[in-house]
Structure 1
Amino acid sequence: MSRRATIPNIVVRRLYPSDQEEILSHFRRLDGPSRRARFCGAIKDEGVIRYVANIFSDSSILCGAFIDGHLRGVVELRGVSHFWASTAEAAFTVEAGWQNAGMGDALFDHIIAIARNRRVARIQMSCLKENLPMQHLAMKHNATLEYDCDIVEAVLRPNRPSPSSVAKEIIGEFERFGQIARRYAATHSSAAN
C-alpha cells in the first residue's frame, strides 16, 4: 500500500456491539507508534483488550472505515447521548499501512456529520505534540489547536444539522446492511459447496 495514494472505495459506517470482535482485531493490529498516538502512551495487548471490552457505553458512538470488508480505521465520539450533547470527545485510529491515504479524512467527515445531527456544539480531541498528521487533519477540518507541554488539544465547532449531514449518516447505515448481506451470502454460498 503506497502511503501517498488515496484509497479508493473506503466504506465508513457506524459500528455496533456486534462489531466488537472486528474492533478488537483492529486495535490489536495497531503498531507501537499508532497505539502510542491513540492512547497518548504505550499500551499492551491486555490493556487493549480491557479498553475494547468497554468501548461501547451509553454515551459513545463509533464509526469504522472498511477496505474490502476489513476494518482498518476507527473513530470514537464520546460524551454523546442520543441527541443534543454540548461537548463530545473524538479519538481516531488508523492502521499503519493505511495512514496518510484519506482514511482519516473519511472518518473525520463521517463523525462530524454524526455530531452535527446530534447538535454537538463542541468536539474536543487530544493528541501528542509529535502527532503532526492528527494535528494537520484537525486543522484541515477547521479546528483550533492549543499546545500544552506534550499534549495538543484540538477543538471543533460543528455546524447545525443539514440534509447532507443526515444523508451521510443514513448512507452509512445502508453500507452496514450491505456488508451484512455480503457476509451472509458468502457464508451460505461456501456452506452450500
Structure 2
Amino acid sequence: MQEVFIEGGLIRKLWPIEAHAYRDHLLRLDAESRRSRFGGGVSDEMIRSYADASHGPDIVIHGFFVDGILRGAADLRMLGPGHGDEAEAAFSVEKPWQSHGVGSALLERCLLVARNRGVKLLHVNCLSENQRMQQLARKFEAELSFDFGTVVGKMQNPRPTPLSVMQELVTDGHSFAAACFDLQSRLLKPTKPSPAE
C-alpha cells in the first residue's frame, strides 16, 4: 500500500535505474539535515560516492516522492557476517517535508522489508541532539542507548508471515508501476524551447 502525503507525495521503493534520484536528494539536504543524516559534515563528493555505492542485494531504499522528485529516503542495509539477523536504517527528509509523518511512514516500510528478510533487530543511529529521530524511534518502541554524543535505537522485529510477505509484494508492484509512470511522465514532458528559437 502507498501512503499519500502533502502535495500528492507517495512512498515507494527505489529501483536501480533511479540511483541518480537518491544522489540528487542527498545533495539537496540543507547543512543541518545533512549533518543529521551522516552524523557530521560531509562533502558533495562524499555524498556522490555514497550514493553510487547504494545498490546491491543487501540494500533497500524507499523514497518519498513529490511530483516525481525524491524528497525523503530510508536506506536499509543488512549488516554483514556475524550480524546475520540485524540491519541498520538511516533516514533523510528535505526540510519543507519534515514533520509531516514522512519519517514514520518510511520507518514502517523499513520494518516490513527487514521483517521479510529475517531481520530480528533493526538499528538506527543518530546524533544526541537529533530529537526528531529519537522521537521517531520511541514511537516504534525502540530501546535507546546513549554513547559518546550518539544515540543508538534498537527495534525488535517479528518473524515474517505469509501476510507480511504478500504485503511487500503488493507494495512492490505498486512501486514499480509508480516508477514507470514517473519515468513516462518525464519522457513525455514537453521541453521548453531555447531562447534562440
TM score, norm. by length of structure 1:
0.86
Residue pairs, 1:125-164, within 5 angstroms: 125-162=124-161, 164=163
2:134 partner amino acid:
Q
**Contact 2:68/2:182 (<8 A) preserved:** no
1:20 Cα offset (Å)? 0.7
Kindly report which structure 2 residues correspond to 1:1-193, keeping only aligned pairs within 5 A, or say none. Answer: 7=6, 9-79=8-78, 85-162=84-161, 164-173=163-172, 174-184=174-184, 187-188=187-188, 190=190
Alpha-carbon distance between aligned partners in 2 of 1:27 and 1:189, rounded to the nearest angstrom: 25
Deviation by residue 1:8-45 (Cα, 9 ceiling, x = unmatched): 64422211220111111100100100110011000111
Find the aligned partners of 2:176 and 2:34 in 1 and give their Cα distance.
Answer: 26
Which residue matches 1:3? none
Q: CA deviation at 1:80?
A: 6.0
Structure 1: distance between partners of 2:185 and 2:51: 28
CA deviations on 1:116-163 (whole Å, 9 max, x unpaired) are 111211011110000000000001011100011200000001112245
Partners of 2:175 and 2:149 lie apart in 1 by 38
What is the SS of the residue equivalent to 1:58? Answer: coil
Alpha-carbon distance in structure 1 between the residues aligned to 2:66 and 2:18 = 15
Q: Structure 2: which 5+ residue stretches go unaligned?
A: 192-197
Query: Partner of 2:6: helix, strand, or coil?
Result: coil
The RMSD of aligned alpha carbons is 2.2
- Could you list the per-position Cα deviations for residues 78-97 of structure 1 after superposition, in whole angstroms to 9, with x for gaps in the alignment? 1268xx94001111111111
Asked if structure 1 preserves the Cα contact closer than 8 Å seen for 2:75 and 2:91, the reply is: yes
Q: TM-score, normalised by structure 2?
A: 0.84
Taking every aligned residue pair, what percent have the same amino acid on both sides?
Answer: 34
Aligned partner letter, 2:180: I
**What displacement does 1:185 show?**
5.1
Find the aligned partners of 1:189 and 1:25 in 2 and give their Cα distance.
20
Aligned length: 184
User: For residues 146 and 110 of structure 1, do their structure 2 counterparts lie closer, same or farther at Cα, with a shift above 3 Å needed?
Assistant: same
